[in-house]
Structure 1
Amino acid sequence: MIQPVAERTPAGTSYLVTGQGQPVVLIHGVGLNKEMWGGQIVGLANDFRVIAYDMLGHGQSHLPAADTPLEGYADQLAELLDHLQIPQATVIGFSMGGLVARAFALNYPQRLSALVVLNSVFNRSPEQSAGVIARAAQAAEQGPDANVDAALDRWFSREYKAANPAQVAAIRQVLASNDPQGYHTTYSLFATQDMYRESDLGSIQVPTLIATGELDQGSTPAMTRQLAARIPGAQSVVLAEQRHMMPVEAPREVNKMLLDFLSHARTLTESAKGIVA
């Protein structure tokens, strides 16, 4: 596969495109960037046109205004699709990217062909909310790397960290190098918007997969099941023994799950259009 070269939209969104076929968009989490999706880009590009981009305030994309709401992040994705002349796409969001994917599904339903939410949040308990809000405040005061060690301990297994020190160090560097304002704006939304338009989730009418890892402390299996229960026909999957960064730590397992779902979603879509009896 030819290594894709980053490009930019007129509004300043940095993105990569590779592969051929139906478009699949990948949205990273807070403090990360499009590079986190290397394993999925390789795994999906033989069958799909894969688009990975940097969220507002991350990577090489432009900064959001300090008061940008979650809808602004959905608008960024719509502008990217307009730039690429893509009327509809499957959207896969990880963690904060899962919130953006949900916002996109609710605000641009006509642009969505299927939805995947990985390791994201829904209906936090008061204790969970207090914890993430405290971490957001700490990062606002001390910078994006204020709680990086604790984050990496939550995100990765000890075995993976020990076997892949260079990759973990690279992710640490990405987290530490974030623009403070862009990081704070995004993290504040991640900390407070887990129930974003929750009463409207039943309006999502596309094939949907909600998945997390069995050992994900912040994006728990209970959250995954509760969110899936709000979306008609949504599948919920919990990958055994996986933590938060399962797209990075277990790309083959995650890719198999995604490819199985995308094949199922394509069949459902074609059947609905009368192409398949």
Structure 2
Amino acid sequence: MTLITRPLSDPFGPVALRDVGAGAPLVLIHGVGMQSAAWTPQIEALSKTHRVIALDLPGHGGSAPLPAQSGLPVYVRWLDAVLDALELGPVALAGHSMGALIAAGFAVTSPDRVSRVALVNGVYRRDQTARDAVIARAAVIGEGAFDLDTPLDRWFSDSRADQVARAQVAGWLSSVDIDGYAMAYRAFAHGDATYADRFATIHCPLLALTGDEDANSTPAMARAMAKAAQNGQAVIIDGHRHMVNLTAPEAVTNALRDWLARPATGEIA
């Protein structure tokens, strides 16, 4: 899976991406501190039936950073510029964590460009305690402090599968640009309610998926997102935390396959 770059319109610089397979387009957006390779199990499986395009977030991997102090709406506009550059019509759109916030915002603001949306380990209307904690972490990161073990301890258990995935994720976190990481984390910390009031306008099939042990992207959040949308479905994977697409890759891939096969309209069975 070769990483390629594409130029974007101003004020966005080049975007790096992986473009694999053929068929209906499926766009994947990773979370803060990661890169497009974090979707490797899903890219390998789903590119057999779809054109899978996995993006590096701005300031991550090979993608250019956004202008200083960019909030979540700027990341959403960045995604619009990416789809323009790739000349893509309606796409299936899946995001993990920060990527889920971007995907949800795009589904709200550009519904004609989204055929379906999947929110993996997404956040939605944090309570005050959780909001205060994540904003405090964003402030520390913004000052240049980078604690590798703290997020890894939240995201992974001591199981063997989790520890294998932890080593992969530690490598990506260790190589991320601190400025790009800090800006994305700030947008993530402040963005959980940005588009929450408009979920009722999402009419395409929406999947909200998380692990039952994810303390920050909770099952309650996933169920609330699914309930708020017109055609939503929640999937909770037992025994897993925040990086569920890596620790339970087959379960996540199967859920995404089911989501991709769901009718564009109609009630959930």
Question: Is 1:116 aligned to 2:112, yes or no?
Answer: no
Aligned to 1:141: 143
> Quick check: 1:237 aligned with 2:235?
yes
Q: Which runs of 5+ in 2 are unaligned?
A: none
- Residue 13 of structure 1: aligned partner: 15
| Cα-to-partner distance string for 1:93-112 (whole Å, 9 max, x where unaligned) | 00000000011112211110
Deviates more, 1:150-159 or 1:24-33: 150-159
Q: Is the 8 A contact 1:160 1:249 kept in 2?
A: no
User: Compared with structure 1, are the counterparts of its residues 133 and 163 closer, same or farther at alpha carbon in structure 2 (3 Å cutoff)?
Assistant: closer
What residue in structure 1 maps to residue 40 of structure 2?
38
Match of 1:26 among 22, 28, 38: 28
Q: Which amino acid aligns with 2:130?
A: Q
2:123 aligns to what SS in structure 1? coil
Per-residue deviation, 1:199: 1.9
> 1-side partners of 2:109 and 2:231: how far apart?
20
TM-score (norm 2): 0.92
The answer to whether the Cα contact below 8 Å between 2:116 and 2:264 also exists between their aligned partners in 1 is no
Query: For the residues of structure 1 that align with 2:229 and 2:258, how far apart are their CA atoms?
Result: 19
Question: What is the CA deviation profile of residues 107-146 of structure 1, one whole-angstrom value per residue up to 9, with x for unaligned ones?
Answer: 2111100000010101111111111112112212243x32
Match of 2:104 in 1: 102
Once the 2 structures are TM-superposed, how far is the Cα of residue 38 of structure 1 from its aligned partner?
Answer: 0.4
What does residue 59 of structure 1 align with?
61
Distance verdict in 2 for CA 1:5–1:174, change over 3 Å:
closer
Normalising by the residue count of structure 1, what TM-score does the alignment of the two structures yield? 0.90
Runs of 4+ displaced beyond 6 Å: none
The structure-2 alpha-carbon separation of the partners of 1:19 and 1:162, relative to structure 1 and needing over 3 Å to count, comes to closer
SS of corresponding position for 2:239:
coil
Paired residues for 1:181-220 under 5 Å: 181-220=179-218
User: Which whole-Å CA distance do the structure 2 matches of 1:37 and 1:160 have between them?
Assistant: 20
* Cα shift at 1:161: 6.1
**Residue 156 of structure 2 corresponds to residue 160 of structure 1:** no
Q: CA deviation at 1:21?
A: 0.9
Q: Is the 8 A contact 2:205 2:264 kept in 1?
A: yes
1:268 aligns with 2:259: no
> What is the RMSD of the two structures over their aligned residues, measured on CA atoms?
1.8
Q: Gaps (5+ residues) in structure 1?
A: 272-277
Contact 2:121 2:210 in 1 (8 A): yes
Q: Deviations over 1:11-36 (max 9, x none)?
A: 30101101111100000000111010
